[in-house]
């Protein structure tokens, strides 16, 4: 009787222990499955989400930026981001602005990469230690320092760290000598706006935009590598997403509808009325024209009246010269120097035009040789609105070549000095919803010689993008962020990864098996 009870008790105990072990094993299996599922879901870029509890969500990406990254994931394209940043210390980085902007740019790019997952590849190139990276910078950016490149297939965009990502304020000294040196102040960080706008333009454009260069009237040649040619500008446009083509207005019946930008640089012959009418008709259909019309060699001034006057523009007849401001601001400007024929622009960029207002804030320097004045008509034609783009410094005067004799680079009197307008844009209401646009620069601005295209490449690309109506600008409010970071060595990063990915989950698993063993012993 007692043996039967013991057998019954032992059978019941073994069954109970088996049941407990099965429950614990199922719990461990369930926990492992949940852990695996969470890791799987959290590695999906579409499900990634960051939480920003800072006041005003200062460290969050804008909704449009997140939507663009989602669109990139949906398209299946690979976005490659390369950084080529310099390192400055001490007096070379006043106020530590460069270091702060670079840190904010790194943080922004990493947050975008986190949302994009495998479809965003980021490389931070060390141009000081890696010879290959240094060579790539020259090849990709033309040697420009402090740049970020974005690439999707054959479409490439170039962003400058300071010029495009930072809003730097410099108190306006009026450009007069004797003023104290202005101090730079970092007002805000607009890197998200720059990166998102570049990404949006690449996603919107299924193919590159077409730019047509006028080859009549001895105008600028995009294939000419000489000092008078414009091969540098053509290359910059190609890298910015334009396809360059040539067109003869003399033989063409009309300018093609797929022309997003017509380029007419430094024509050396008067434009006949027929060809001028072709251009005007193209602009009124929503087309865009980039034109430069500086003085010809020897002081010849072509008015191009048949083209410009019906649009409310008029060119001056005298070549402009300016005094060279003293670099210290303590001495009067210098005259009698051949360099006076280069109009030096620093605070003369328009405050209101979207192309130049950031140049004025940064006090970007420009140099425009063989310039002459231009004017907008007091009463503009119906449907035409004009804006001055560039104004010379207050030490500017005009002179005409008399008998082919070059001026002596000196004003006759101080009364002759004053600011002159040398560039303007007009917007034309036309036959379609899209408005026509013209940018006229009355100087040689983008030629290969004298380093003009190197100095003005940013201005040229911004101006061409505005003319081509690239409506890809993302409006993100500028935010000033103070970065807080902890510097970890690669060994520390690998240890943290080992701890989070392996040690902690396996510790829980080992604890679960210990519970099984302990319950079985109990």
- pLDDT for res 133: 61
CA atoms of 440 and 101, how far apart (whole Å): 34
The pLDDT, as a whole number, for residue 329 is: 65
User: Which residues does 211 contact at the CB level (< 8 Å), separation at least 6?
Assistant: 237, 242, 243, 244, 245, 259, 260, 261, 262, 263, 464, 468
Q: Cα 428 vs. chain centroid, distance in angstroms?
A: 26
CA distances, 437 to each of 182, 201, 308, 387, 434 (Å): 36, 19, 13, 11, 10
CA 426 to chain centre: 23
* Per-residue pLDDT reduced to its tens digit, 442-465: 999 999 888 788 788 889 988 998
**What is the per-residue pLDDT for 454?**
79
Angle between helices 2-42 and 504-521 (to 10 degrees): 170
Rg (alpha carbons) of the chain, rounded to whole number: 32
CATH 3.40.50 holds for 207-467: yes
Task: Give the whole-angstrom CA distance, residue 200 versus residue 470.
Answer: 10
Mean pLDDT, the chain cut into blocks of 10 residues (522 residues total): 48 66 79 78 61 57 86 89 84 81 91 88 79 61 75 82 78 45 73 86 75 93 91 84 91 91 94 95 94 80 92 92 79 87 91 86 85 93 94 90 72 89 93 88 91 84 86 55 58 81 82 77 69
Burial class (CB in 10 A: 0-12, 13-18, 19+), 280: buried
- Distance between CA atoms of residues 112 and 127, nearest Å: 23
| Res 12: pLDDT | 47
Please state, in angstroms and rounded to a whole number, the distance separating the CA atoms of residues 69 and 237. Answer: 25
Give pLDDT tens digits for 301-347.
888 999 999 999 999 989 999 998 776 667 788 898 888 999 999 88
- Residue 102 has a CB neighbour count (10 Å cut-off) of 22
- Quote the CA–CA distance of 367 and 382 in Å, as a whole number: 34
CATH topology for the 61-198 domain? Glutaredoxin (3.40.30)
Give the domain ranges of the chain: 61-198, 207-467, 494-522
The per-residue pLDDT for 252 is: 92
Distance CA 316, CA 299 (A): 12
């Amino acid at each position: 009787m007692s043996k039967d009870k013991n057998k019954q008790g032992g059978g019941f105990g073994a069954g109970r222990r088996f049941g407990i072990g099965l429950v614990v094993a199922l719990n461990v299996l369930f926990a492992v499955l949940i852990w695996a599922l969470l890791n799987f879901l959290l590695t999906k870029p579409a499900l990634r989400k960051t939480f920003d509890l800072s006041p005003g969500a200062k460290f969050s990406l804008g909704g449009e930026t997140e939507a663009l990254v989602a669109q990139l994931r949906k398209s299946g394209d690979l976005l490659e981001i390369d950084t080529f940043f310099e390192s400055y210390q001490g007096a070379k980085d006043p106020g530590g602005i460069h270091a702060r902007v670079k840190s904010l740019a790194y943080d922004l790019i990493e947050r975008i990469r986190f949302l994009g997952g495998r479809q965003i590849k980021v490389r931070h190139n060390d141009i000081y230690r890696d010879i290959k990276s240094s060579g790539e910078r020259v090849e990709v950016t033309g040697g420009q320092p402090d740049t970020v490149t974005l690439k999707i297939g054959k479409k490439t965009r170039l962003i400058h760290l300071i010029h495009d990502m930072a809003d730097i304020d410099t108190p306006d000294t009026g450009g007069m000598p004797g003023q104290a040196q202005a101090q730079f102040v970092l007002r805000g960080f607009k890197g998200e706006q720059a990166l998102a706008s570049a990404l949006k333009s690449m996603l919107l454009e299924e193919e590159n935009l077409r730019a047509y260069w006028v080859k009549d009237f001895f105008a600028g040649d995009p294939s000419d590598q000489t000092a008078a040619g414009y091969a540098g500008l053509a290359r910059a446009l190609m890298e910015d997403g334009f396809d360059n083509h040539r067109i003869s207005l003399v033989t063409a019946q009309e300018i093609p509808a797929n022309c997003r930008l017509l380029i007419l640089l430094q024509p050396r012959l008067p434009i006949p009325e027929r060809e001028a009418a072709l251009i005007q008709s193209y602009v009124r259909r929503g087309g865009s024209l980039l034109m430069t019309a500086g003085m010809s060699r020897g002081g010849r001034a072509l008015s191009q009246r048949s083209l410009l006057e019906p649009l409310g523009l008029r060119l001056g007849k005298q070549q402009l010269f300016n005094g060279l401001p003293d670099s210290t601001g303590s001495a009067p400007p210098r005259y009698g120097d051949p360099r006076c024929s280069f109009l030096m622009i620093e605070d003369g960029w328009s405050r209101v035009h979207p192309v130049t207002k950031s140049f004025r804030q940064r006090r970007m320097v420009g140099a425009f040789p063989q310039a002459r004045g231009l004017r907008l008509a007091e009463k503009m034609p119906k449907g035409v609105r004009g804006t001055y783009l560039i104004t010379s410094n207050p030490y500017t005067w005009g002179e005409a070549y008399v008998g082919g004799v070059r001026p002596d680079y000196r004003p006759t009197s101080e009364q002759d000095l004053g600011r002159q307008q040398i560039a303007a844009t007009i917007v034309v209401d036309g036959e379609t919803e899209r408005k026509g646009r013209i940018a006229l620069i009355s100087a040689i601005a983008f030629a290969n010689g004298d380093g003009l295209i190197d100095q003005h490449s940013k201005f040229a690309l911004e101006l061409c993008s505005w003319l081509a109506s690239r409506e890809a600008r993302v409006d993100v409010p500028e935010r000033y962020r103070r970065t807080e970071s902890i510097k970890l060595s690669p060994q520390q990063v690998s240890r943290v990864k080992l701890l989070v990915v392996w040690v902690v989950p396996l510790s829980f698993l080992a604890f679960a098996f210990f519970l099984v063993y302990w319950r079985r012993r109990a």
